[in-house]
């Protein structure tokens, strides 16, 4: 019933003309954009919940009945949550981070090389075994003389 009164394409932000008269591939992109908007709204609501949770936790020490006299609420955070990792300030710290990233990259390359070498060894072993089996079959087929 709701779908009849409020079509889904309108909820995604498409107009009637776009949905019915333009390229049918637009629906896919509008749906993806709609999902991204919903995800952003969900994260914003979660973040707001975290701020409320923190505020309640900060004031909780004075809310219970057996709080001692002079108990004070904790101070609420002075700045919002950080979303980016802080960049290392010193040159040494930046170099250490770069070295760690380079080591991780080298380890990834090394593991791929080892995997490739092991695969190649296995392929060579399969070829040798197949060749030996072929030789044994040929030797078994030859007439004894």
Tell whether pTM > 0.75.
no
Query: Are 30 and 48 in a shared domain?
Result: yes
Can you tell me which residue has the tokens 């896919």?
28
Query: Are 21 and 45 in a shared domain?
Result: yes
Query: Are 101 and 35 in a shared domain?
Result: no
- Computed over its alpha carbons, how large is the radius of gyration of the chain? 33
Query: Are 99 and 42 in a shared domain?
Result: no
Tens of pLDDT along 97-137? 888 999 999 999 999 899 989 889 999 999 999 999 988 88
Tens of pLDDT along 36-46? 999 999 999 99
Range of the domain at 128: 87-145
Contact between 27 and 19 (Cβ < 8 Å): yes
Query: Are 92 and 75 in a shared domain?
Result: no
Query: Are 125 and 108 in a shared domain?
Result: yes
Q: How many domains does the chain have?
A: 2
């Amino acid at each position: 019933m709701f779908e009849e009164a409020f079509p889904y394409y309108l909820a995604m932000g498409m107009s009637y003309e776009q949905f019915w008269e333009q390229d049918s591939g637009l629906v896919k992109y509008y749906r993806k954009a709609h999902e991204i908007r919903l995800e952003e709204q969900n994260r914003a609501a979660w973040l707001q919940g975290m701020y409320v949770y923190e505020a309640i936790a900060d004031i909780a020490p004075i809310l219970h009945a057996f709080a001692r006299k002079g108990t004070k609420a904790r101070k609420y955070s002075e700045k919002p949550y950080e979303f980016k990792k802080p960049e290392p300030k010193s040159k040494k710290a930046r170099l250490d981070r770069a070295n760690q990233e380079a080591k991780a990259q080298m380890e990834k390359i090394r593991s791929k090389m080892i995997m490739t070498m092991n695969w190649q060894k296995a392929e060579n072993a399969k070829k040798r075994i197949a060749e030996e089996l072929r030789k044994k079959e040929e030797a078994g087929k030859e007439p004894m003389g």
